[in-house]
Amino acid sequence: MAQTSKVFFSFANHHHWHSSTIDSIKIATPASLNSRHPVPKLLYSYDNVFHGFSAVLSKDELEALKKSKGFISAYKDRSLEAHTTHTSEFLKLNPSSGLWPASGFGQDVIIGVLDSGVWPESASFRDDGMPEIPKKWKGICRPGVEFNTSMCNRKLIGANYFNKGLMAENPDWNISMNSARDTVGHGTHVASIAAGNFVKGASYFGYAPGTAKGVAPRARLAVYKFSFDEGNVASDLIAAMDQAVADGVDMICISYGWRFIPLYEDTIAIAAFGAMIKGVLVSASAGNSGPNMGSLNNGVPWIFTVASGHTDRWFSGTLTLGNGLTIRGWSLFPARAIISNWPVIYNKTLSACDSAELLAQVPDAGRSIIVCQRSGDAEVVTDQMNYVAEARVGAAILITEDPAILRSTEFPNPGVVITPKEGKQVMNYVTKTPEPKASISFLETYLDSKPAPVVSASSARGPSRSYLGVAKPDILAPGVLILAAYPSNIAVEKIGTNVELATDYYLESGTSMAAPHIAGIAAMVKGAHPEWSPSAIRSAMMTTANPLDNTQKPIKSSEDNKRATPLDMGAGHVDPNRALDPGLIYDATPQDYVNLLCSLNFTEEQFKTIARSSANHNCSNTSSDINYPSFIAFFSPQGDLTWLEQKFRRTVTNVGSGAAKYRVKVKSPRNSNVSVSPQTLVFKKKNQKQSYTLTIRYKDNAEQIVESGSISWVEEKGNHRVRSPIVISPEIEVW
**How is 525-574 classified by DSSP, letter by letter?**
HHHH-TT--HHHHHHHHHHT-B-B-TTSSB-EETTT-PBP-HHHHTT-B-
Cβ atoms of 287 and 401 closer than 8 Å: no
Residue 154, Cβ density class (10 Å: 0-12 exposed, 13-18 middle, ≥19 buried): middle
CB neighbours of residue 494 within 10 Å:
17
Question: CA-CA distance, 237 to 148, in Å (whole number)?
Answer: 22
86 catalytic residue (yes or no): no
Evaluate the CA torsion angle 588, 589, 595, 596 in order and state its sign: positive
Residue 716, Cβ density class (10 Å: 0-12 exposed, 13-18 middle, ≥19 buried): exposed
Question: CA-CA distance, 273 to 609, in Å (whole number)?
Answer: 10
Q: Which residues pair with 372 in a beta bridge?
A: 398
- The CA-based angle 18-24-28, given to 5 degrees, is 150
CB neighbours of residue 734 within 10 Å:
14
Name the H helices within 377-477.
378-391, 420-432
Question: CA-CA distance, 730 to 642, in Å (whole number)?
Answer: 14
Question: CA-CA distance, 593 to 626, in Å (whole number)?
Answer: 7
Question: CA-CA distance, 263 to 643, in Å (whole number)?
Answer: 31
Q: In 126-250, at which residue ranges do the beta strands (DSSP E only) sit?
A: 156-161, 199-204, 207-212, 220-225
Q: CA-based diameter of the chain, in Å?
A: 108
Residue 712, Cβ density class (10 Å: 0-12 exposed, 13-18 middle, ≥19 buried): middle
625 catalytic residue (yes or no): no
Q: Which residues pair with 124 in a beta bridge?
A: none
Q: In 255-403, at which residue ranges do the beta strands (DSSP E only) sit?
A: 281-285, 304-310, 314-321, 326-328, 339-345, 369-372, 395-399
What does DSSP assign to residue 195? H
Question: If phi over 0 gives left and psi between -120 and 50 gives alpha, with beta otherwise, what is residue 13?
Answer: beta
Q: Pseudo-torsion of CA 104, 107, 110, 111, nearest 10°?
A: 70
115 catalytic residue (yes or no): yes
Question: CA-CA distance, 419 to 400, in Å (whole number)?
Answer: 5
From the list 115, 250, 568, 581, the catalytic residue is 115
Strands 437-446 and 314-321: antiparallel
Angle, nearest 10°, between helix axes 14-28 and 59-66? 120
What does DSSP assign to residue 129? T
From the list 456, 512, 630, 672, the catalytic residue is 512
Question: CA-CA distance, 320 to 438, in Å (whole number)?
Answer: 6
CB neighbours of residue 145 within 10 Å:
12
Question: CA-CA distance, 315 to 406, in Å (whole number)?
Answer: 9
From the list 86, 186, 517, 529, the catalytic residue is 186
Question: CA-CA distance, 462 to 259, in Å (whole number)?
Answer: 12
Amino acid at 240: A
Name the H helices within 5-119.
14-28, 59-66, 87-90, 99-102
- HSE-CB of 663 using CA atoms within 13 angstroms: 4
Question: CA-CA distance, 35 to 567, in Å (whole number)?
Answer: 56
Cβ atoms of 331 and 443 closer than 8 Å: no
Query: What are the catalytic residues?
Result: 115, 186, 512
